[in-house]
Structure formats: structure tokens, C-alpha cells
Amino acid sequence: MTAVMKSFHPILVVVLAMSFSSASHGAQQALRWQDGALCEFETKFDPTKYDEESLRNTVNVIFGDGFYESKSPQIEIDEKGGRLRTDTAGYERTCELTKEKATNLRVIALPGIEEYRRLRLEELDDSCWFGSVESRAASGEPSALREYTPSAATCSRFIDALEGKTDLRAVWLEVINSTCQKVLAPRDKCRADALKKESGPNAGQHIQMGVLEFGWGNCSVPYLKTSDLQKGESMRKALEKTFRRRFKVKAFPCAD
């Protein structure tokens, strides 16, 4: 099924590559990086005043991933086993490692950067809570979805269906119709492509995944803390202004 996919933290500017140049100009050294549009930037700094690793991390926080890159649990259909397959424990370990790294990441002490770190850590805890219950539901524990309390009441009809309390197929058809209203592809084709899964192998698992990811998932995403884009983006923009006041940033022509 073609669908509007969920995202925990939409990144407006993604750092794809950064390199440190040992070429110096007087007492200064240069740090270069690229954004998602393949536009290259450079700033020069005094290594006796600023630690290179902390500066590079700061650039990545402000112009890149905001302390970490969000991860979602990988949920797949085991074509041979006829069930949904996921690794909840592995996902939760990844969350803990990401939190530890973000907590201890060395950055330049810009005004507001620790407040931004706290916000991003709160968002991480929330998204990991979301992802963990989704993964557990895929592993055969649909009642776990009720533990994500921000959306539990609003999205309960999808949980009821996954628990077998209501007609799962009827809710799946509802999800198809709702999802196909939002896609750019022709709606009839979107619906027909989705319905084909009912006559293919592992039809029950495709229906279950559709209700879980595009039913409960799309219903619950607006309740994630990362859905408040304005708060985090306003903090990031303020940090960018502060950074540019302290470090002169040179922009190079973007790649075609």
C-alpha cells in the first residue's frame, strides 16, 4: 500500500559529509561540511580556543541531525513463517545507546544549546516509547499499544481490531480508503494495489501490518512530541544565529 509514512523528527538540513582541513591560515583552521542539497559551507576557528571535535559536533547539531538521527523499529513480514517479524529488544538497545551518545555529546557552549539538548532527549524518550510499543504489537502483543497513552483513547479502534475485538478486515478497508485519499497516485489504483494483498500470500499479516502501521501509526503520530515542529525549529534557528555571530560561515556554490 502506498501511504504517508510516519517520521519521528523531520530534518530540514541533513549533514551528509564533513571533513576537517589541516590547512591553516595564521592560527586558524578550517572546518567544512555539506547539507542535504549538496551545498558546502566552511568556517574557520582558532584551535587554541575551540576543540575541533566539539565544534564539529556543534555544526552537526545545528545544521544536521539535532543531536541524533531518529530510528523506527524494523517491522517485516516473514514470508516463510507467515508472521510479522521485528526485534523489540534490539530497537530498545539502540534507543539507549542513542540517548547515551546524545547526553554525552561534546558541543560548544552556545547559549541555549543545553536547552535544545534537553528538548531533543525528551523527544527521543517519547519516540522510543512509541516505537517500542509498536514493535511489541507486531510481535503479538497488540495490547501494548494502549501503553502509549497520548493516543490510546483516540486510536483505540485500531487496537481493538488488532486484539480481535472488532472486525480487523473492516478496519483495514477503512485504513485503505483513508490512506488512498492522501496519496498523489490515482486513488482507484492505490486501493486496487492494496486490496491485491488480500489474495496473495500471508494476507492476514499484510492486513495486520496495514492496520498497525497505517492505522494506529498514522493516527498516533500527531501525538508525538516531535510533531510540534515549531518549538524545536525555533530553538535550532536561534542557535544558528548565535553560531553565525560567533563563527563566520562561508557558503560555496551548490552542486547541480
Helices (H) and strands (E) in the chain, counts: 10, 6
| Residue 223 located in a structural domain | yes
User: pLDDT tens across 103-115, in order?
Assistant: 999 999 999 999 9
| Residue 24 located in a structural domain | no
Query: Residue type for 93, please?
Result: R
The whole-angstrom distance between residue 220's C-alpha and the CA centroid of its chain comes to 14
Q: What pTM did the predictor assign?
A: 0.84
User: pLDDT tens across 117-172, in order?
Assistant: 999 999 999 999 999 999 999 999 999 999 999 999 999 999 999 999 999 999 99
Residue 92 confidence (pLDDT): 97
| Residue 38 located in a structural domain | no
Residue 72: count of CB within 10 angstroms of its CB? 17
| Residue 214 located in a structural domain | yes
| Residue 16 located in a structural domain | no
Residue range of the domain that includes 88: 70-236
Residue 127 confidence (pLDDT): 97
Residue 36 confidence (pLDDT): 77
What's the number of domains the chain is made of?
1
What is the three-class DSSP state of 33? strand
| Residue 102 located in a structural domain | yes
Higher pLDDT, 6 or 225: 225
Measured in degrees and rounded to the nearest 5, phi and psi for residue 33 equal -155, 165
| Residue 63 located in a structural domain | no
